[in-house]
């Protein structure tokens, strides 16, 4: 039997729907500024955790891809700098704009906040649109948001809609401990794990996903959807090593929590889970 407290926590991580009317207004202002920029943006569309249904309450921003029509620059940092310059000052509701590769983060007085990824259309692979977006080290990487959304959705529907809550659990760990690892990478590692499972039990599968990432030393992964090449994990080797340390610590804590639950020690269980998820984790009722 699975851990009922962990299941309760997982089910409470999904955010309330954001104000789409306000988001649409903000998006129109940003898109107009991007269209006027040197990037020559032709359209913007939502991508990432909100569109995937794997966003975390009070943590996840609304992601947009801004499709550019200009010549793609050699350095991806040039595109991010141009996008940042275009967005700055375009809306009085914006409090800050900063580059955080592969996106430009746009912070408002009140949520929702945005993350904008300048993108260049590359072509179709297996019927899916593929784009170039910024990567680490001033490189360009491929992105296929529709393909990856379909991949996650297929596993989620096959496994009683427990895949997306499992993704939110591992993202909740990331945000709580400040692990410097890509949320998208964690989502695809989780979906890849679930593709080989016939049932999902959160406490077992959360540890299994973390162990698989740790065994791979939190390195880049092959695209399980087989659409793009490698999916980056961390922006530097230093951050990869930090992520690995935090992963191993979380695995130890989750093992300790499972042992405490087995012997009925609620205090030890909660302390172990607190170290993984923070003070929002509920005290067990068993």
> What is the pLDDT averaged over residues 24-49?
91
**In this predicted structure, what is the pLDDT of residue 235?**
85
pLDDT at 157: 96
**For residue 210, pLDDT beyond 80:** yes
Q: Mean per-residue pLDDT for 281-286?
A: 93
- Strands 114-125 and 62-68 come out as parallel
Residue 19: pLDDT over 70 = no
Residue 73: partners with Cβ closer than 8 Å, 6 or more residues away: 79
Phi, psi for 44 (deg, rounded to 5): -135, 140
**Intervals of CATH 3.30.460.90 along the chain:** 20-144
pLDDT bin (cut points 50, 70, 90) of residue 1 is: low
Give the pLDDT confidence of 80-124 residue by residue, as tens digits: 999 999 999 999 999 999 998 788 999 999 888 999 999 999 999
Query: What is the average pLDDT score of the chain?
Result: 93
Least confident window among 54-68, 126-140, 246-260: 54-68
What percent of the chain stands above pLDDT 90?
Answer: 81
CATH number of this structure's domain 20-144, picked from the four choices 3.40.50.300, 3.40.47.10, 3.40.50.720, 3.30.460.90: 3.30.460.90
Contact 152, 54 (CB under 8 A): yes
Q: Could you give the residue range(s) of every CATH 1.10.1410 domain in the chain? A: 4-15+148-277
The Cβ-side half-sphere exposure at 222, using a 13 Å CA radius, reads 2
> Considering the entire predicted model, what is its pTM?
0.90
Q: In this predicted structure, what is the pLDDT of residue 18?
A: 67
More confident of the two residues 135 and 82: 82
For residues 242 and 46, which has the higher predicted lDDT (pLDDT)? 242
Using one digit for the tens of pLDDT, what is the confidence trace for 194-207? 999 999 999 999 99
Q: What is the CATH code for 4-15+148-277? A: 1.10.1410
User: In the chain, pLDDT over 70 holds for what percent of residues?
Assistant: 99
Give the Å distances, CA to CA, from 74 to 6, 88, 132, 139, 228: 46, 23, 12, 8, 20
CB 185 within 8 A of CB 49: no
Work out the average pLDDT over 239-261. 97
Residue 48's pLDDT is 75
Question: What distance in Å separates the CA atoms of residue 63 and residue 46, rounded to the nearest whole number?
Answer: 6
């Amino acid at each position: 039997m699975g851990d009922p407290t962990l299941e309760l926590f997982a089910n409470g991580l999904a955010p309330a729907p954001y104000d789409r009317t306000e988001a649409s207004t903000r998006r129109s202002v940003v898109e107009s500024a991007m269209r006027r920029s040197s990037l020559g943006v032709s359209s913007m569309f939502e991508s990432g955790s909100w569109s995937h249904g794997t966003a975390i309450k009070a943590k996840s921003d609304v992601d947009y891809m801004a499709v550019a029509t200009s010549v793609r620059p050699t350095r991806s940092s040039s595109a991010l700098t141009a996008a940042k310059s275009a967005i700055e000052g375009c809306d009085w509701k914006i409090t800050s704009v900063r580059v955080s590769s592969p996106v430009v983060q746009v912070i408002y007085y009140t949520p929702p906040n945005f993350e904008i990824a300048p993108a260049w259309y590359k072509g179709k692979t297996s019927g899916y649109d593929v784009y170039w977006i910024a990567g680490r080290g001033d490189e360009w990487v491929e992105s296929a948001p529709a393909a990856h959304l379909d991949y996650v959705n297929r596993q989620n529907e096959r496994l009683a809609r427990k895949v997306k809550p499992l993704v939110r659990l591992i993202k909740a760990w990331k945000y709580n401990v400040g692990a410097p690892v890509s949320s998208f990478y964690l989502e695809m590692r989780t979906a890849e794990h679930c593709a080989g499972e016939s049932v999902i039990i959160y406490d077992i599968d959360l540890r299994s996903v973390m162990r698989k990432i740790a065994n791979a030393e939190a390195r880049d992964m092959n695209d399980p959807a087989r659409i793009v090449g490698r999916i980056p994990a961390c922006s530097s080797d230093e951050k990869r090593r930090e992520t690995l340390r935090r992963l191993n610590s979380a695995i130890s804590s989750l093992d300790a929590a499972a042992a405490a639950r087995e012997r009925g020690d609620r205090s030890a269980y909660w302390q172990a889970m607190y170290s993984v998820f923070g003070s929002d984790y509920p005290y067990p009722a068993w």
